[in-house]
Amino acid sequence: EAGVTQFPSHSVIEKGQTVTLRCDPISGHDNLYWYRRVMGKEIKFLLHFVKESKQDESGMPNNRFLAERTGGTYSTLKVQPAELEDSGVYFCASSRLGQGKDEQFFGPGTRLTVL
């Protein structure tokens, strides 16, 4: 079974530009989560999808961040316009419906650098 995949693995952009991160969850996993780790800080929750619906987006930092999951499969996280403080590692995780509270499987992350 393939794990959670994320693309790109690394992105370097300039302040003010737009970046779109993609996450492909494990096949059959209806729960999808985005987390972020800013340098020196702990991993923090951003939002949670159940299929194509946003279940909890309480961790989204501001309206420059837009997450979508059309069709309930892969998800994208767009940052527009990017700011310096958006630099960090963005992780995606997925889990089966009904099992998300204890078995979230993480992807390798996308390392975003905003210059």
Q: Residue 100 is which amino acid? A: G
Minimum CB distance to other proteins, residue 16 (Å):
28
Q: Is 2 helix (H, G, I), strand (E, B) or coil?
A: coil
81 interacts with other proteins by CB under 8 A: no
How would you classify residue 31: left for phi > 0, otherwise alpha for psi between -120 and 50, otherwise beta?
beta
Q: How big is the chain by its Cα radius of gyration, in Å? A: 13
Using CB under 8 A, which of 19, 29, 69, 100 touches other proteins? 100
Locate 29 and state its tokens. 């996993």
Q: Least distance in Å: CB of 64 to other proteins? A: 20
Interaction site with other proteins (CB under 8 A): 4, 31, 33, 35, 41-45, 48, 55-56, 58-59, 91, 93, 95, 100-109
